Amino acid sequence: MGRLLVVLVALGLAAGGCRRSSEAPGTGGRTRIVFKFQPLWGDPKPFRELLARYEQANPDVELVTEALPNASDLAHQFFLTSLQGGATDFDVLVADVVWVPEFARAGWVADLTEDFPPARLREEFLPGPVDAVVMDGRTYAVPWFVDVGVLYYRTDLVPRAPRTYEELRRFTRDAMAKTPGLQGYVWQGRQYEGLTCNVYEALWGHGGQSLGPDGRVLLETEPAREALAYLHGLIADGLSPPTVTGFGEEEARRVFQEGRAVFMRNWPYAWREAQAEGSLIRGKVGIAPLPTKDGQPGWGTLGGWQLAVNAHVSPLRRKAAARLIAHLTSPEANRVLALHYARNPPRLALYDDPVLRAEEPFIASLKDALVRARPRPVTPYYLLIADVLQSEFSAAVAGLRTPEESLARAQKQVDHLTGEQPEEAR
Amino acid sequence: MPSVVVLAVVALYPVLAAVWLSLHRFILVFGERRFTGLANYAYLLGDARFGSALGNTVYFTAVAVAVELLLAVPLAVLLNRAFPGRGLLRASVLVPWAIPTVVSARLWAWMFNPDSGLINRLLGGAEINWLGAPGYALHAAILVDVWKTTPFVALLVLAGLQGIPEDLYKAARVDGASPWRQFRSITLPLLKPALLLAVLFRSLDAFRVFDAIYVLTEGGPANTTETLSIYAYKTLMRSGDFGYGSTLAVATFLGVVLLAAVWLKWLGREEARE
């Protein structure tokens, strides 16, 4: 059956558009390392210069970049099949926040603890991203840029940003009563990962935690029930349009940007579009932490990408790869990514950087939200259970099942997948 | 003999490999792989998600194929008439079928957009949540499938129509049979083999439906559009659970085999009767 895997791996590589090569020596005795990542949107020049500076500083290394498909799902499939097959044709890879524990447990990404000790990461980086890359006191990746869920509101329709769920509901109801045809609160309710982020934000806002004390993925809890009931209630009470069950980020943004909604939950990228020349809501948009049940600032879901090293490559290449990661996550690189690609830096110090504060005040203003950003359950099982969470959360939000039923079904499937109930193991 | 070898390699090996994998707990990211016999199948029988995926698949297949047949027969009768521009019409009805499914599904996803999509606008500003509401989403997917494959079914039926000797109709007209009577007593019975063939092709295809639905909804909301193929794909490729994913693939395969056996038996009986 090994042959079937080889075929799958070959297919994966073909889909990625690259050829499998064994340790190809670089030209002129230099070590050749390959950096595999999704192209950043925008002018490629500043990033190319950043990479060139690494080569200048490391004359013994020849750096090659290879593009990944620009969809998280497809990139994950590529890494799943090629790393499982022991591929050595790339050295540095980008990983979504939820992949790192999975890849680390599988032994596919190298232990970077020596080059990036957790204590130093905790000092220099935002807490959420560090939690996502450190497992059992060992470092498996370094945060590259970060993202967080935030609340957008219309400054001309509501007095201020709501702090509690009750305020959010009241403000929405008042604004809708004054303006006929206006929609209330738009968010991401389609069956996909964005929905899971929204549900976890509501769960934390109701005082819940992602994992139980023993590290188990706990779903049958009171905060989880309240979170699903709250999200479904928004739709049932007409405060969110019924169509949010088909919304992703862009669908929500379109409605909000056309001035047809009071509130929106989204990632910071929507800010630029909302404030762009010709936007219908330019100058009428505020951004705030998500509300919570008791009024303290909410916890947004952590998103973003990390850099890791392929565990299958030789020690020599591994060293060069670690140096590349150090370069790409340096304060200088953080600044390049923020100024030219609007990617939020994971390094705390950057938020006090005068250049960044002057040129990209919006990015700098996200610090408070980012400090409170939380990762989805940090567990090697995450991608195994993500599908279950999406479908059961979707059923509860769409009102097909009660929160209790959905959570009980989800818990049963999750426990089965994670092997929590060995008597049921298949 | 060489043909048997080729068949064994390209058809039998992947099937046997999937069956063998389905007898394991085999999760890619854990490097975990152990033989568990029929445990995956035991879990399958109690898996509510499998039940709903099977239900969705059967419903999708039955409704889509039935509607396609109902639309294709009149369309084929029309195309069989002699009228100016017939060649052009015959060619142009195939356009939906010629567009790659992924492209047309993306197109339909835009048209189904509840706020700005064409469909709700055509319905006079209705606010139907096509892809986000359970109950609607699967029917939206059926609509896309009907739009795409009715021309193909019509063409199969047309081929059947052209095999009916014109003399029969002449004789019927001499006897004073009405057009409806001619259709019921001559066209339909003689068309039966062609219709059965179309049903065979289409239902086997529909039972494995993946691309159109995946692009439209990814199986949501609440898995109400998740078919067996989508469940198997997600389990295999997204979660890397090769053991249970293979079990689902084998179950889908068995469904297709069963369907094919039933239709072929029926088809054989029809031909024996002639």
CB contacts under 8 A, B 112-131 vs A, are: 113-116, 127, 129-131
Please tell me if residue B96 touches chain A, with a CB cutoff of 8 Å. no
pLDDT digit string, tens, across residues B92-119: 888 999 999 999 999 999 999 888 889 9
Residue of B nearest to A423 (CA): B39
pLDDT at A421: 52
Residues of B in contact with A244 (CB under 8 A): 132
Average pLDDT over residues B188-197: 91
Q: Mind telling me how many Å the CA of B171 is from chain A's nearest CA?
A: 58
Counting residues of chain B whose pLDDT is more than 70, the rounded percentage is: 99
Spell A323-338 as b/e; 16+ CB within 10 A means b: bbbbbbbeeebbbbbb
Best B115, B130, B226, B235 residue to mutate vs chain A (most A CBs within 10 Å)? B115
Task: Mark yes or no for CB contact A426/B243 under 8 Å.
Answer: yes
Residues of B in contact with A103 (CB under 8 A): 29
pLDDT digit string, tens, across residues B21-59: 999 999 888 878 899 999 999 999 988 899 999 999 999
Counting residues of chain A whose pLDDT is more than 90, the rounded percentage is: 82
Q: Distance from first CA to last CA of chain B, Å, rounded?
A: 34
pLDDT at A26: 61
User: Which of these, A113, A75, A46, A133, lies nearest to A328 by C-alpha position?
Assistant: A46
> What is d(CA A154, CA A287) in angstroms, rounded to the nearest whole number?
9
Q: Mind telling me how many Å the CA of A413 is from chain B's nearest CA?
A: 9
Please tell me if residue A402 touches chain B, with a CB cutoff of 8 Å. no
Beta-ladder partners of A150:
A266
pLDDT at B4: 86
pLDDT at A425: 39
Q: Mind telling me how many Å the CA of A320 is from chain B's nearest CA?
A: 26
CB contacts under 8 A, A 104-163 vs B, are: 105-107
CB contacts under 8 A, B 211-270 vs A, are: 217-224, 226, 234-235, 237-241, 243-244
Residue of A nearest to B247 (CA): A426
pLDDT at A42: 87
pLDDT tops 80 at residue B124: yes
Task: Mark yes or no for CB contact A390/B113 under 8 Å.
Answer: no
Inter-CA distances, A392 with A385, A396, A414, B58, Å: 11, 6, 11, 22
Please tell me if residue A191 touches chain B, with a CB cutoff of 8 Å. yes
pLDDT band at B86 (very low <50, low <70, confident <90, very high): confident
Residue of A nearest to B237 (CA): A77
A172 Cα distance to chain centroid: 28
For helices A331-341 and A45-57, what crossing angle results, to 10°?
A: 160
- Out of B184-198, B231-245, B257-271, which region has the weakest mean confidence (pLDDT)? B257-271
Counting residues of chain B whose pLDDT is more than 90, the rounded percentage is: 72
pLDDT tops 80 at residue B274: no
Best B24, B25, B29, B108 residue to mutate vs chain A (most A CBs within 10 Å)? B29
pLDDT digit string, tens, across residues A274-286: 999 999 999 999 9
pLDDT at A14: 42
Whose structure tokens read 């835009």? B110
Reading phi first (left if > 0) and then psi (alpha if -120 to 50, else beta), residue A304 is in left
* Beta strands per DSSP E along chain B: 24-27, 32-35
Residues of B in contact with A189 (CB under 8 A): 132, 221
Task: Mark yes or no for CB contact B240/A384 under 8 Å.
Answer: yes
Tell me the three state secondary structure of residue A65.
strand
Mean pLDDT of chain B: 92
Nearest to A243 among B30, B31, B132 (CB): B132
> What is d(CA A31, CA A163) in angstroms, rounded to the nearest whole number?
54
Nearest to A426 among B36, B130, B235 (CB): B36
The 3-class SS string of A96-151 reads ECCCHHHHHHHCCECCCCCCCCHHHHHHHECHHHHHHHEECCEECCEEEEEEECEE
Contact A104, A264 (CB under 8 A): no
pLDDT at B89: 85
Residue of A nearest to B234 (CA): A387
pLDDT at B37: 93
Q: Mind telling me how many Å the CA of B93 is from chain A's nearest CA?
A: 31
Regions of chain A short of the pLDDT cut 50: 1-22, 422-426
Q: Mind telling me how many Å the CA of A147 is from chain B's nearest CA?
A: 23
Residue of A nearest to B38 (CA): A426
